[in-house]
Amino acid sequence: MAKVVVVGGSFAGLTAALDLRRGLGKEHDVVLISNNPDFVFIPSLPWVVLGSRTAKDVSFPLAPTLAKQGIEFLNEAITKIEPDKNIVHTKDKQINYDYLVLGTGPSLDFEAIEGLGPHNGYTQSICNLPHAMMAQVKFEEFMKNPGPVVVGVAQGGSCFGAGYEFVLNVDTYLRKHGIRDKVPVTWVTSEPFLGHFGLGGVGDSEKMVNRLFEERGIKTYPNHAISKIEPNQVILDDGTELPFNYSMIIPAFKGIDAILQSPGVGNARGFVPVNNEMRHPEYHNIFAAGVIVAMSPKTPTPVATGVPKTGYMSEHMAKAVARNIIADLGKMPNSEFDPYNMDALCMLDMGDSGVYMVVDPIFPPQRSYTLKYGPWVHAGKIAFEKYFIWKMKNGLTNLPI
């Protein structure tokens, strides 16, 4: 009998746990550890900020779903991993494992820039549900006294799609409320050009995104780092000062403290290296999936950018992890999975329309890609949100996407 411990209850962790439970015999145990009691559909967080979704709309409790599937659930944060002893620590427990799956997601490196973040700084975040709810309160206050808006992704950041969605949703929201002409909107990004996405671009994405921003009158500052943030002002690396009444800046990501404090598990930033089986190169019973996987850009950029790992990508990494653990335990051949050579699907919502993107592989030169724009993308994302939450809540990770 083997005990498989999965850390993380979001796209990567929950997918891996459900696939493992479905694929392993009942003689094997599957345990999921997460500091968050709920699964959150993170792509909907821009809608939470703007009031079209509530926390309940975009989340569900993990415990009932996991219990129904026969997965033990520990609602705790891990504090340390001892890979040589096959032990995971929480504050009060030591959990032994035969296999460990790290799908923790990241921690947010607000400390990298003075004044960044909602806790000790002056900007908002949409990287998790509590931050989105804080950002919603601040946005409601902003609407009583509207002024300039600055949205961006800081140097080293990777979550460009969410940043683009937020700035375009804000633009649409302000137009619907008849005040867009009174509110200058600015986009700041470490990407060398608009539509780079941390990948090098997708087909003619640069041309498409430039056109969208020009049509909407959004001023842009690509290829910039942020030096610091002061009350009501973002200061760029060249000294440019961007005033704001409301700002949302996505920070760079790093690994969680438990990995950073576990020598040999992660790299200097706390991301977990993997081989072509999504397996740790040194500790072969440790696997990783999702944002926590160590991936570097294929082509360096003048200002540091990270590699985006979307929910779609995280889910497919997790499925590869599950397949290989099941193969190990069934003494079957393992399968290779190269995250640099995977495909990706994205619906970039704009509040009333959007861009549909399918790319294979994620990095240029792509074998194929599709970029389509229209109001049907907004409707499609709403439908996908409902479908995906239903799928995960019912443990149906064997269904498409």
Catalytic-residue membership of 346: yes
**Catalytic one of 159, 208, 355, 392:** 159
Q: What is the mean pLDDT of residues 181-205?
A: 96
**Catalytic one of 212, 346, 362, 377:** 346
DSSP-derived 3-state class of residue 154: coil
pLDDT at 80: 98
Query: Which pair of tokens denotes residue 308?
Result: 């985006």
Rounded Cα distance between 186 and 170, Å, is: 11
Does residue 321 register a pLDDT over 90? Answer: yes
Q: What is the mean pLDDT of residues 85-107?
A: 97
pLDDT at 218: 98
Question: What domains can you pick out in the chain, each with its CATH number?
Answer: 3-107+253-342 (3.50.50.100), 110-251 (3.50.50.60)
Closest by Cα among 153, 152, 352, 176 to 246: 152
pLDDT at 226: 98
CA 158 to chain centre: 8
* Residue 87 pLDDT grade (very low, low, confident, very high; cuts 50, 70, 90): very high
pLDDT at 401: 84
Catalytic-residue membership of 127: no
DSSP alpha helices (H): ranges in 43-156? 45-49, 62-69, 129-144
pTM exceeds 0.95 for this model? yes
Closest by Cα among 312, 286, 309 to 296: 309
Does residue 58 register a pLDDT over 90? Answer: yes
Pairing outcome for strands 185-189 and 149-153: parallel
Kindly report the backbone phi and psi dihedral angles of residue 341, in degrees, each rounded to the nearest multiple of 5, phi listed first: -115, 20
Rounded Cα distance between 74 and 77, Å, is: 9
Does residue 197 register a pLDDT over 90? Answer: yes
- Which tens digits make up the pLDDT trace of 18-34? 999 999 999 999 999 99
CB atoms < 10 A from the CB of 348, how many?
A: 24
Q: Say what percent of the chain tops pLDDT 70.
A: 100
Please state, rounded to an integer, the average pLDDT across all residues of the chain.
97
- Which tens digits make up the pLDDT trace of 225-248? 999 999 999 999 999 999 999 999
- Which tens digits make up the pLDDT trace of 121-135? 999 999 999 999 999
